[in-house]
Amino acid sequence: MDSSESASVKKTEEKLKPKLFSVMKGYSKAQFIKDVISGIIVAIIALPLSIALALASGVNPEQGLYTAITAGFVVSLLGGSRVQIAGPTAAFATIVAGIVASEGMDGLVISTIMAGIFLIIMGFCRFGSLIKYIPGTITTGFTFGIAVTIVVGQIKDFCGMTFSGSPIETTEKIAEIFKSLNTFNPMAFLIGIISLAILIFWPKKLSKIPPSLIAVIVGAAIVKLSGMEVNTIGDLYTISSAPPSFTLPEVTFERVRSLVPNAFTIAILAAVESLLSCVVADGMIGSKHRSNMELAAQGAGNVVSALFGGIPATGAIARTAANIKNGGRTPIAGMVHAVVLLVILVLLMPYAAMIPMPTIAAILFVVAYNMCGWREIVNCVKISPKSDIAVLFITLILTVVFDLVVAIGVGIVLAALLFMKRMADVTEGHDWVYVDDEDTDPDHISLKKVPDNTRVYEINGPMFFAASDKFSYILDDTSKIDVLIIRMRNVPAIDSSGVAMLDKITKRCKKHNIEVVFSHVNEQPMHAMEKAGFTERVGRENFCDHIDSALLRAEKLEKTAANNNASRRK
């Protein structure tokens, strides 16, 4: 990528312009129909999830829908992604429940408004790219920790237990579960198991119809028709079908100051999850989101959500993926999803009173499983240094035992200290001879004969979580080459993010029938690649100890490719 292309990409990334205004230039009737259909399907998926997440957050069921309606519409209208669907997510459940329990609904509203303002400031200050400096081990750790807290919080309803107290902390809930084993309700447990079975096995047969909707309908029907003594939403909550209305709590300086930590936690989590969702969506549709505009839109969405009775919102990866799979390609789909949910709220919300609480618990169990990222943890344990693994598990444990503020704070400090140590360990001093002629390096690529259909890229410096995306330019042009040589003589260290980037590059090349050869991989990067199984996937014969042997290997592979092409033409 030349300097003009790089500047163009950078300019695009920094543009503070909603994607809606860009995509509408070539908007067609056919795409509008696809967006409407996708918006309706995503609304059906979001309906039971929004109710379940509201209950997990300790608020009334309709407040989950208020969030999906208001934040979902605003984020689609102003956001930096073509396909992002915003709404309540599992990541916020334990945080919101804790704020509501300790500060009340007014405290939650003020915290969410402040978080929204923080996000808007982050967007306008171009902080979108800084989110990548939160290491993957920390996000993986607190995500799994949140999943654990959700599961623990739903065991009571899944088993139909009755608690004597009102525990808030996860450890207190675990203790209360053991104390309340004698209140176990077999009928509630049966409904929970049936609901869980539907959620697990239904997608394998009829993936077009959301399994959560089927679980809700079947669970409600069984309880209603059989007369089972199982708590429903209507038994525990007062259901309202009123549309969102404007509310503004009393705000004082003292209250604002005390709620800053909560607001900061909500803002950071919303930023990380929304931008992660955008990155996933980009990979699915081959687009490029505007991270700073997305942050500003998430901020506006959270402010509006709080003012209209909702809870914190962010980009929902599962709903965004469903939008893409059903043909949504513009923000119109997200806006349709919000409008459809508003219609459902007004017309059908009273029927939500019939939904059994064990079914809600089962839905949240599946949500927790899908978000926990256990595969990333297994992969991290396999390929990462012990220090990275320690940061992951410390973050996980602190999230469960204490809260997300403590977990993220301690995790980032530990990761920063360990990173500085790692960089100090791999830094070496050299005597330099200052000359003008770069060809005094006997291994400079200009002194080598590179085969016609081979391209050589040299990576300099450590490949770690904050720098791995710098090497994505290698993927930009894969045309008219048979072999790609990646020269790594100046890469002293690599982490799991760096290995993941190289894996992405090799997979992309494989799709285009391009062989990848590595030259002069140092000891630590080679060890990390071996632990990840990367060397086996690429083929050990494609790891060469010197650029000369790498070029000979490329020449041999080019001849093989030429012979294969000739035989195919015959």
Q: pLDDT category, 164, cuts 50, 70, 90?
A: confident
pLDDT at 299 > cutoff 70: yes
Task: Please check whether residue 223 is in contact with residue 232, taking contact to mean a CB–CB distance below 8 angstroms.
Answer: yes
Please state, in angstroms and rounded to a whole number, the distance separating the CA atoms of residues 460 and 489: 8
Statement to judge: residues 127 and 268 lie in one domain:
yes
- Report residue 564 as tokens: 């294969």
Q: Is the dihedral of CA 39, 41, 44, 47 positive or negative?
A: negative
Statement to judge: residues 518 and 376 lie in one domain:
no
Statement to judge: residues 161 and 258 lie in one domain:
yes
- Report residue 156 as tokens: 């009571």
Statement to judge: residues 183 and 263 lie in one domain:
yes
Which of 411, 429, 454 is where one domain is finished? 411
Statement to judge: residues 469 and 401 lie in one domain:
no
- Report residue 315 as tokens: 């980009």
pLDDT at 7 > cutoff 60: no
Angle at 269 between CA 263 and CA 271, to 5 degrees: 100
Instruction: Give a yes or no: residue 440 inside a domain.
Output: no
What one-letter code names the amino acid at 295? L
Please state, in angstroms and rounded to a whole number, the distance separating the CA atoms of residues 331 and 329: 7
Higher pLDDT, 568 or 70: 70
How many other CB atoms sit within 10 Å of the CB of residue 527? Answer: 15
- pLDDT tens by residue, 185-238: 999 999 999 999 999 998 877 767 788 889 999 999 999 999 899 999 999 888
Instruction: Give a yes or no: residue 172 inside a domain.
Output: yes
Task: Please check whether residue 296 is in contact with residue 123, taking contact to mean a CB–CB distance below 8 angstroms.
Answer: yes
Instruction: Give a yes or no: residue 20 inside a domain.
Output: no
- pLDDT tens by residue, 443-471: 666 667 888 888 888 888 788 766 666 66
**What CATH number does residue 561 fall under?**
3.30.750.24
Please state, in angstroms and rounded to a whole number, the distance separating the CA atoms of residues 524 and 546: 17
Distances (CA, A) of 82 to 77, 275, 338, 344, 541: 10, 13, 15, 25, 42
Which of 352, 386, 411 is where one domain is finished? 411
Statement to judge: residues 395 and 528 lie in one domain:
no
pTM for the model stands at: 0.74
Please state, in angstroms and rounded to a whole number, the distance separating the CA atoms of residues 500 and 411: 21
The CA R_g of the chain, rounded to the nearest whole Å, is 26
Task: Please check whether residue 289 is in contact with residue 281, taking contact to mean a CB–CB distance below 8 angstroms.
Answer: yes
Which of 411, 435, 460 is where one domain is finished? 411
Statement to judge: residues 398 and 507 lie in one domain:
no
Statement to judge: residues 405 and 465 lie in one domain:
no
Instruction: Give a yes or no: residue 425 inside a domain.
Output: no
Among 364, 359, 374, 360, which Cα is nearest to 318's? 364
Task: Please check whether residue 269 is in contact with residue 91, taking contact to mean a CB–CB distance below 8 angstroms.
Answer: yes
Boundaries of domain holding 261 = 29-149+156-239+246-411
Instruction: Give a yes or no: residue 18 inside a domain.
Output: no
Q: Produce one character per residue of 168-198: b if its CB has 16 or more CB atoms within 10 Å, e if not.
A: ebbeebeebbeebeeeebebbbebbebbbeb
- pLDDT tens by residue, 533-542: 999 999 999 9
Statement to judge: residues 284 and 220 lie in one domain:
yes
Instruction: Give a yes or no: residue 292 inside a domain.
Output: yes
Higher pLDDT, 147 or 110: 110
- pLDDT tens by residue, 341-371: 999 999 989 898 999 999 999 998 998 888 8
Instruction: Give a yes or no: residue 170 inside a domain.
Output: yes
Instruction: Give a yes or no: residue 200 inside a domain.
Output: yes
pLDDT at 99 > cutoff 90: yes
Statement to judge: residues 47 and 177 lie in one domain:
yes
Output the pLDDT for position 3: 41
Half-sphere CA count of 440, side-chain side, radius 13 A = 7
Average pLDDT of span 275-283: 85
pLDDT at 440 > cutoff 60: no
Residue labelled with tokens 């918006």? 39
Task: Please check whether residue 342 is in contact with residue 309, taking contact to mean a CB–CB distance below 8 angstroms.
Answer: no
Please state, in angstroms and rounded to a whole number, the distance separating the CA atoms of residues 454 and 446: 14
pLDDT at 158 > cutoff 90: yes
Statement to judge: residues 405 and 449 lie in one domain:
no
Statement to judge: residues 160 and 37 lie in one domain:
yes
Domain count, the chain: 2
